[in-house]
Amino acid sequence: MSAGRGTVGLVIGSFTAIGAFVLGVGVYSGVAEEDDPKGDGAVSAELNTGKVPTKYRPWVIKAAETCDEVTAPVIAAQIEAESGWNPNAKSPVGARGLSQFMPGTWDAHKVDADGHGASVWSGPDSIMTQAAYDCSLVGEVKGVEGDPVRLMLAAYNAGPGAVQQYGGIPPYPETQEYVRRIMSLVPKYSKSGAGGGADMHGTLGQRIAAQAKSQIGVPYSWGGGGPEGPSRGIQHGSGIVGYDCSGLVQYAVYQASKGKITMPRSSQAQATAGKAVSRGDIRTGDLIAFAMHGAGNYDHIGIYIGAGQFVHAPRTGQDVKISELSDNDQWPMAIRRLP
Protein backbone atom coordinates (compact mmCIF):
# COMPACT_ATOMS: atom_id res chain seq x y z
CA MET A 1 0.00 0.00 0.00
CA SER A 2 1.49 3.32 -1.06
CA ALA A 3 -0.62 6.15 0.26
CA GLY A 4 -0.11 9.79 -0.60
CA ARG A 5 -1.00 10.17 -4.28
CA GLY A 6 -3.95 11.10 -4.00
CA THR A 7 -15.79 7.66 -21.51
CA VAL A 8 -17.83 6.91 -23.98
CA GLY A 9 -17.85 7.54 -27.76
CA LEU A 10 -15.84 6.16 -30.61
CA VAL A 11 -13.00 8.49 -31.47
CA ILE A 12 -10.50 5.75 -32.03
CA GLY A 13 -6.73 5.68 -31.81
CA SER A 14 -4.94 3.26 -34.08
CA PHE A 15 -1.72 1.34 -33.96
CA THR A 16 -0.49 0.01 -37.25
CA ALA A 17 3.10 1.18 -37.28
CA ILE A 18 4.80 -1.45 -35.16
CA GLY A 19 5.63 -4.10 -37.71
CA ALA A 20 9.15 -4.95 -36.63
CA PHE A 21 8.00 -7.76 -34.37
CA VAL A 22 4.98 -9.05 -36.28
CA LEU A 23 4.51 -12.76 -35.73
CA GLY A 24 2.72 -15.33 -37.83
CA VAL A 25 -0.58 -16.97 -37.00
CA GLY A 26 -0.30 -20.48 -35.58
CA VAL A 27 -2.49 -23.42 -36.38
CA TYR A 28 -5.55 -24.22 -34.30
CA SER A 29 -7.98 -27.08 -34.86
CA GLY A 30 -11.09 -25.62 -33.18
CA VAL A 31 -14.50 -25.73 -34.83
CA ALA A 32 -16.65 -22.62 -34.86
CA GLU A 33 -20.20 -22.79 -33.54
CA GLU A 34 -23.12 -20.41 -33.23
CA ASP A 35 -23.12 -17.28 -31.06
CA ASP A 36 -23.49 -17.68 -27.34
CA PRO A 37 -23.69 -14.16 -25.91
CA LYS A 38 -24.36 -15.53 -22.44
CA GLY A 39 -21.64 -15.33 -19.79
CA ASP A 40 -19.57 -12.23 -19.10
CA GLY A 41 -16.11 -13.75 -18.97
CA ALA A 42 -15.62 -12.47 -15.45
CA VAL A 43 -13.19 -13.92 -12.96
CA SER A 44 -14.78 -16.51 -10.72
CA ALA A 45 -15.63 -15.23 -7.25
CA GLU A 46 -15.01 -18.68 -5.77
CA LEU A 47 -11.68 -19.11 -3.99
CA ASN A 48 -9.11 -21.69 -5.04
CA THR A 49 -8.39 -22.60 -1.43
CA GLY A 50 -5.38 -24.73 -2.30
CA LYS A 51 -3.41 -21.57 -3.09
CA VAL A 52 -4.12 -19.88 0.26
CA PRO A 53 -2.21 -20.71 3.47
CA THR A 54 -4.44 -23.01 5.55
CA LYS A 55 -4.75 -20.74 8.58
CA TYR A 56 -5.95 -17.82 6.46
CA ARG A 57 -8.48 -19.62 4.26
CA PRO A 58 -11.56 -19.11 6.47
CA TRP A 59 -10.71 -15.45 6.95
CA VAL A 60 -10.30 -14.74 3.25
CA ILE A 61 -13.67 -16.42 2.60
CA LYS A 62 -15.30 -14.48 5.43
CA ALA A 63 -13.74 -11.20 4.28
CA ALA A 64 -15.32 -11.65 0.85
CA GLU A 65 -18.75 -11.31 2.48
CA THR A 66 -18.06 -7.64 3.25
CA CYS A 67 -19.25 -6.34 -0.14
CA ASP A 68 -20.06 -7.79 -3.54
CA GLU A 69 -17.24 -6.13 -5.45
CA VAL A 70 -14.38 -7.43 -3.30
CA THR A 71 -14.21 -11.17 -3.89
CA ALA A 72 -12.07 -13.78 -2.14
CA PRO A 73 -9.67 -14.16 -5.11
CA VAL A 74 -9.15 -10.38 -5.21
CA ILE A 75 -8.40 -10.30 -1.47
CA ALA A 76 -5.93 -13.18 -1.77
CA ALA A 77 -4.20 -11.68 -4.81
CA GLN A 78 -3.88 -8.36 -3.01
CA ILE A 79 -2.26 -10.02 0.01
CA GLU A 80 0.26 -11.82 -2.18
CA ALA A 81 1.17 -8.57 -3.89
CA GLU A 82 1.38 -6.65 -0.63
CA SER A 83 3.32 -9.03 1.62
CA GLY A 84 3.66 -12.48 0.04
CA TRP A 85 1.51 -13.81 2.94
CA ASN A 86 4.07 -12.67 5.51
CA PRO A 87 2.21 -11.37 8.60
CA ASN A 88 5.43 -9.78 9.90
CA ALA A 89 6.21 -7.83 6.73
CA LYS A 90 7.29 -4.23 7.18
CA SER A 91 8.12 -1.87 4.35
CA PRO A 92 10.82 0.85 4.43
CA VAL A 93 8.10 3.51 4.61
CA GLY A 94 6.35 1.88 7.56
CA ALA A 95 3.56 -0.20 6.02
CA ARG A 96 2.98 -3.30 8.17
CA GLY A 97 1.46 -6.74 8.24
CA LEU A 98 -0.20 -9.01 5.69
CA SER A 99 -2.01 -6.15 4.01
CA GLN A 100 0.70 -3.51 4.49
CA PHE A 101 -1.30 -0.84 6.28
CA MET A 102 0.22 2.52 7.09
CA PRO A 103 -0.34 3.45 10.76
CA GLY A 104 -2.89 6.19 10.08
CA THR A 105 -4.96 4.06 7.73
CA TRP A 106 -4.88 1.16 10.17
CA ASP A 107 -6.06 3.31 13.05
CA ALA A 108 -8.96 4.62 10.98
CA HIS A 109 -10.20 1.25 9.71
CA LYS A 110 -8.90 -1.49 12.04
CA VAL A 111 -11.09 -4.49 12.78
CA ASP A 112 -10.69 -6.85 15.73
CA ALA A 113 -11.55 -10.05 13.87
CA ASP A 114 -10.34 -12.66 16.35
CA GLY A 115 -11.44 -10.98 19.58
CA HIS A 116 -7.92 -10.46 20.88
CA GLY A 117 -7.71 -6.75 20.22
CA ALA A 118 -7.09 -5.23 16.79
CA SER A 119 -3.47 -5.75 15.77
CA VAL A 120 -1.89 -5.07 12.40
CA TRP A 121 0.34 -8.10 13.03
CA SER A 122 -2.66 -10.41 13.33
CA GLY A 123 -3.48 -12.17 10.07
CA PRO A 124 -7.25 -12.33 10.71
CA ASP A 125 -7.37 -8.67 11.77
CA SER A 126 -5.39 -7.56 8.72
CA ILE A 127 -7.53 -9.57 6.30
CA MET A 128 -10.84 -8.32 7.69
CA THR A 129 -9.56 -4.74 7.88
CA GLN A 130 -8.34 -5.01 4.29
CA ALA A 131 -11.81 -6.08 3.15
CA ALA A 132 -13.47 -3.29 5.11
CA TYR A 133 -11.09 -0.72 3.67
CA ASP A 134 -11.39 -2.11 0.14
CA CYS A 135 -15.16 -1.88 0.33
CA SER A 136 -15.02 1.67 1.66
CA LEU A 137 -12.81 2.59 -1.31
CA VAL A 138 -15.29 1.00 -3.70
CA GLY A 139 -17.86 3.43 -2.32
CA GLU A 140 -15.52 6.43 -2.57
CA VAL A 141 -14.74 5.87 -6.26
CA LYS A 142 -18.22 4.73 -7.25
CA GLY A 143 -18.86 7.79 -9.38
CA VAL A 144 -15.74 7.23 -11.51
CA GLU A 145 -16.23 5.41 -14.80
CA GLY A 146 -14.38 2.11 -15.09
CA ASP A 147 -14.06 -1.33 -13.56
CA PRO A 148 -14.80 -0.93 -9.82
CA VAL A 149 -12.22 -3.52 -8.75
CA ARG A 150 -9.39 -1.90 -10.69
CA LEU A 151 -10.44 1.52 -9.45
CA MET A 152 -10.53 0.23 -5.88
CA LEU A 153 -7.03 -1.21 -6.21
CA ALA A 154 -5.76 2.06 -7.64
CA ALA A 155 -7.30 3.90 -4.72
CA TYR A 156 -5.70 1.46 -2.25
CA ASN A 157 -2.31 2.26 -3.75
CA ALA A 158 -2.57 5.93 -4.67
CA GLY A 159 -5.50 7.14 -2.57
CA PRO A 160 -9.12 7.70 -3.63
CA GLY A 161 -8.44 11.38 -4.26
CA ALA A 162 -6.04 10.53 -7.09
CA VAL A 163 -8.59 8.24 -8.74
CA GLN A 164 -11.22 10.96 -8.51
CA GLN A 165 -8.80 13.61 -9.78
CA TYR A 166 -7.89 11.66 -12.90
CA GLY A 167 -11.31 10.12 -13.47
CA GLY A 168 -9.81 6.62 -13.47
CA ILE A 169 -6.57 4.85 -12.70
CA PRO A 170 -3.95 7.59 -12.17
CA PRO A 171 -1.06 7.83 -14.66
CA TYR A 172 1.47 6.78 -12.03
CA PRO A 173 3.60 3.84 -13.25
CA GLU A 174 3.71 2.41 -9.72
CA THR A 175 -0.08 2.45 -9.37
CA GLN A 176 -0.68 1.07 -12.85
CA GLU A 177 1.77 -1.75 -12.20
CA TYR A 178 0.15 -2.43 -8.80
CA VAL A 179 -3.29 -2.83 -10.41
CA ARG A 180 -1.88 -4.93 -13.26
CA ARG A 181 0.01 -7.25 -10.92
CA ILE A 182 -2.95 -7.93 -8.63
CA MET A 183 -5.35 -8.50 -11.50
CA SER A 184 -2.84 -10.90 -13.05
CA LEU A 185 -2.76 -12.85 -9.76
CA VAL A 186 -6.54 -13.11 -9.38
CA PRO A 187 -6.85 -16.14 -11.70
CA LYS A 188 -4.35 -18.03 -9.53
CA TYR A 189 -6.73 -17.70 -6.59
CA SER A 190 -9.89 -18.21 -8.60
CA LYS A 191 -11.38 -21.67 -8.88
CA SER A 192 -11.51 -21.25 -12.64
CA GLY A 193 -7.74 -21.19 -12.36
CA ALA A 194 -6.44 -20.17 -15.80
CA GLY A 195 -6.89 -18.09 -18.89
CA GLY A 196 -6.79 -14.69 -17.20
CA GLY A 197 -9.90 -15.57 -15.18
CA ALA A 198 -12.08 -15.67 -18.28
CA ASP A 199 -14.36 -18.53 -19.25
CA MET A 200 -12.20 -21.10 -21.05
CA HIS A 201 -15.11 -23.31 -22.14
CA GLY A 202 -16.91 -23.26 -25.48
CA THR A 203 -15.61 -22.63 -28.98
CA LEU A 204 -12.47 -20.69 -29.83
CA GLY A 205 -14.60 -17.68 -30.73
CA GLN A 206 -16.47 -17.76 -27.45
CA ARG A 207 -13.19 -17.97 -25.57
CA ILE A 208 -11.70 -15.08 -27.54
CA ALA A 209 -14.71 -12.95 -26.65
CA ALA A 210 -14.48 -13.94 -22.99
CA GLN A 211 -10.78 -13.06 -22.86
CA ALA A 212 -11.44 -9.67 -24.42
CA LYS A 213 -14.23 -8.93 -21.94
CA SER A 214 -11.99 -9.90 -19.03
CA GLN A 215 -9.85 -6.84 -19.86
CA ILE A 216 -12.67 -4.28 -19.80
CA GLY A 217 -11.55 -1.28 -17.75
CA VAL A 218 -7.83 -1.60 -18.59
CA PRO A 219 -6.50 1.74 -19.91
CA TYR A 220 -5.73 2.41 -23.55
CA SER A 221 -1.98 2.68 -24.17
CA TRP A 222 -0.61 3.33 -27.67
CA GLY A 223 1.78 0.47 -28.45
CA GLY A 224 0.82 -1.31 -25.22
CA GLY A 225 -0.19 -4.88 -24.58
CA GLY A 226 0.50 -8.21 -26.20
CA PRO A 227 -0.02 -11.95 -25.80
CA GLU A 228 0.83 -11.95 -22.09
CA GLY A 229 -1.27 -8.97 -21.05
CA PRO A 230 -1.13 -5.18 -20.69
CA SER A 231 2.20 -3.37 -20.80
CA ARG A 232 3.64 0.13 -21.09
CA GLY A 233 3.18 1.60 -24.54
CA ILE A 234 5.43 3.88 -26.57
CA GLN A 235 5.51 7.61 -27.30
CA HIS A 236 2.34 9.10 -25.76
CA GLY A 237 1.56 5.67 -24.28
CA SER A 238 4.94 5.26 -22.60
CA GLY A 239 3.67 6.09 -19.12
CA ILE A 240 0.52 3.97 -19.31
CA VAL A 241 0.18 0.24 -18.69
CA GLY A 242 -2.59 -1.01 -20.95
CA TYR A 243 -3.53 -2.03 -24.48
CA ASP A 244 -3.98 -0.49 -27.85
CA CYS A 245 -6.52 -2.11 -30.18
CA SER A 246 -4.21 -4.68 -31.76
CA GLY A 247 -2.48 -5.45 -28.45
CA LEU A 248 -5.86 -6.40 -26.97
CA VAL A 249 -6.57 -8.71 -29.92
CA GLN A 250 -3.17 -10.35 -29.50
CA TYR A 251 -3.90 -11.00 -25.84
CA ALA A 252 -7.41 -12.36 -26.33
CA VAL A 253 -6.49 -14.74 -29.14
CA TYR A 254 -3.28 -15.99 -27.53
CA GLN A 255 -4.96 -16.67 -24.19
CA ALA A 256 -8.09 -18.19 -25.73
CA SER A 257 -6.01 -20.57 -27.87
CA LYS A 258 -3.79 -21.47 -24.89
CA GLY A 259 -0.75 -20.13 -26.67
CA LYS A 260 -1.39 -21.87 -30.00
CA ILE A 261 -2.15 -18.71 -31.97
CA THR A 262 0.03 -15.60 -31.87
CA MET A 263 -1.50 -12.80 -33.91
CA PRO A 264 0.48 -10.22 -35.89
CA ARG A 265 1.01 -6.98 -33.97
CA SER A 266 -0.67 -4.44 -36.25
CA SER A 267 -4.38 -4.01 -36.94
CA GLN A 268 -3.63 -3.93 -40.67
CA ALA A 269 -2.03 -7.38 -40.52
CA GLN A 270 -4.68 -8.75 -38.17
CA ALA A 271 -7.34 -7.70 -40.69
CA THR A 272 -6.07 -10.44 -43.03
CA ALA A 273 -5.86 -13.26 -40.46
CA GLY A 274 -8.18 -16.25 -40.70
CA LYS A 275 -10.99 -16.21 -43.25
CA ALA A 276 -13.34 -13.44 -44.34
CA VAL A 277 -16.99 -13.67 -43.30
CA SER A 278 -19.96 -11.50 -44.15
CA ARG A 279 -21.74 -9.14 -41.78
CA GLY A 280 -24.74 -11.43 -41.88
CA ASP A 281 -22.65 -14.42 -40.77
CA ILE A 282 -20.81 -12.69 -37.93
CA ARG A 283 -20.31 -14.78 -34.78
CA THR A 284 -18.96 -14.31 -31.29
CA GLY A 285 -15.17 -14.03 -31.34
CA ASP A 286 -14.87 -12.76 -34.90
CA LEU A 287 -12.41 -9.92 -35.44
CA ILE A 288 -13.81 -6.65 -36.81
CA ALA A 289 -11.30 -4.34 -38.49
CA PHE A 290 -12.29 -0.76 -39.34
CA ALA A 291 -10.84 1.30 -42.21
CA MET A 292 -11.24 4.75 -40.76
CA HIS A 293 -8.98 6.56 -43.19
CA GLY A 294 -9.85 4.93 -46.47
CA ALA A 295 -10.85 1.48 -47.68
CA GLY A 296 -8.12 -1.08 -47.22
CA ASN A 297 -6.33 0.88 -44.49
CA TYR A 298 -7.47 -1.00 -41.41
CA ASP A 299 -6.32 1.16 -38.54
CA HIS A 300 -8.61 -0.11 -35.78
CA ILE A 301 -9.78 -3.55 -34.69
CA GLY A 302 -12.07 -5.10 -32.09
CA ILE A 303 -13.68 -8.41 -31.15
CA TYR A 304 -17.36 -9.21 -31.67
CA ILE A 305 -19.07 -10.51 -28.51
CA GLY A 306 -22.61 -11.11 -29.77
CA ALA A 307 -25.82 -9.08 -29.52
CA GLY A 308 -24.49 -6.47 -31.94
CA GLN A 309 -21.60 -5.45 -29.68
CA PHE A 310 -17.82 -5.57 -29.77
CA VAL A 311 -14.98 -5.08 -27.29
CA HIS A 312 -12.07 -2.81 -28.18
CA ALA A 313 -9.39 -0.48 -26.86
CA PRO A 314 -10.60 2.85 -28.34
CA ARG A 315 -8.08 5.65 -27.83
CA THR A 316 -5.86 7.49 -25.36
CA GLY A 317 -7.85 8.61 -22.33
CA GLN A 318 -10.35 5.76 -22.56
CA ASP A 319 -10.37 2.17 -21.31
CA VAL A 320 -11.11 -1.16 -22.96
CA LYS A 321 -14.90 -1.16 -23.33
CA ILE A 322 -17.95 -2.48 -25.16
CA SER A 323 -19.40 -0.51 -28.07
CA GLU A 324 -22.35 -0.99 -30.42
CA LEU A 325 -21.41 -2.19 -33.89
CA SER A 326 -24.34 -0.27 -35.40
CA ASP A 327 -22.81 3.00 -34.18
CA ASN A 328 -19.85 2.44 -36.49
CA ASP A 329 -21.51 1.56 -39.78
CA GLN A 330 -19.89 4.59 -41.44
CA TRP A 331 -16.53 2.79 -41.52
CA PRO A 332 -15.66 0.07 -44.06
CA MET A 333 -15.20 -3.19 -42.12
CA ALA A 334 -13.35 -6.45 -42.58
CA ILE A 335 -14.73 -9.31 -40.51
CA ARG A 336 -12.37 -12.23 -39.97
CA ARG A 337 -12.84 -15.60 -38.31
CA LEU A 338 -9.92 -17.57 -36.93
CA PRO A 339 -9.82 -21.31 -37.67
CATH number, domain of 315, equals 3.90.1720.10
Residue 27 forms part of a structural domain? no
Has residue 304 got a pLDDT over 90? yes
Which residues, other chains included, contact 152 with Cβ-Cβ below 8 Å and sequence gap of 6+? 69, 70, 134, 137, 138, 141
Residue 38 forms part of a structural domain? no
**Which among 132, 156, 189 is the end of a domain?**
189
Residue 339 banded pLDDT, cuts 50, 70, 90: confident
Q: What is the pLDDT of residue 241?
A: 85
For residues 202 and 314, membership in a common domain is answered with yes
Residue 225 forms part of a structural domain? yes
Sign of CA dihedral 75, 78, 83, 84: positive
How many Cβ atoms are within 10 Å of 324's Cβ, its own excluded? 12
| Residue among 33, 65, 69, 82 flagged as catalytic | 82
Residue 7 forms part of a structural domain? no
Residue 121 banded pLDDT, cuts 50, 70, 90: very high
Residue 50 banded pLDDT, cuts 50, 70, 90: confident
Q: What is the pLDDT of residue 293?
A: 85
Residue 21 forms part of a structural domain? no
pLDDT tens-digit profile of 64-117?
999 988 999 999 999 999 999 999 999 999 999 999 999 999 999 999 998 999
Has residue 247 got a pLDDT over 50? yes
**E strand spans, the chain:** 231-232, 241-242, 275-276, 287-290, 300-306, 309-312, 321-324, 333-337
- Report helix, strand or coil for 220: strand
For residues 321 and 251, membership in a common domain is answered with yes
Question: Using an 8 Å Cβ cutoff, are 214 and 198 in contact?
Answer: yes
d(CA 130, CA 124): 10
Residue 14 forms part of a structural domain? no
CATH number, domain of 171, equals 1.10.530.10
**Which among 172, 189, 206 is the end of a domain?**
189
Residue 258 sits in which domain range? 198-337
For residues 161 and 83, membership in a common domain is answered with yes
Residue 34 annotated among the catalytic residues of the structure = no
Residue 239 forms part of a structural domain? yes
For residues 100 and 176, membership in a common domain is answered with yes
Residue 41 forms part of a structural domain? no
For residues 73 and 166, membership in a common domain is answered with yes
Has residue 186 got a pLDDT over 60? yes
Reading phi first (left if > 0) and then psi (alpha if -120 to 50, else beta), residue 258 is in left
d(CA 91, CA 166): 27
**Which among 189, 209, 241 is the end of a domain?**
189
Has residue 291 got a pLDDT over 50? yes
Q: Considering its fold, how many domains does the chain have in total? A: 2
Average pLDDT score, the chain: 84
Q: What is the pLDDT of residue 200?
A: 63
Question: Which amino acid appears at position 331 of this protein?
Answer: W
Q: What is the pLDDT of residue 326?
A: 87
For residues 170 and 220, membership in a common domain is answered with no
Interior CA angle at 87 toward 86 and 91, to 5°?
A: 75
Q: Are strands 287-290 and 275-276 parallel, antiparallel or unpaired?
A: unpaired
d(CA 89, CA 30): 47
d(CA 269, CA 91): 46
d(CA 300, CA 283): 19
What pTM was estimated for this model as a whole? 0.52
d(CA 310, CA 221): 19
Has residue 59 got a pLDDT over 90? yes
C-alpha 9 chain-centroid distance? 20
For residues 156 and 61, membership in a common domain is answered with yes
Interior CA angle at 58 toward 185 and 78, to 5°?
A: 25
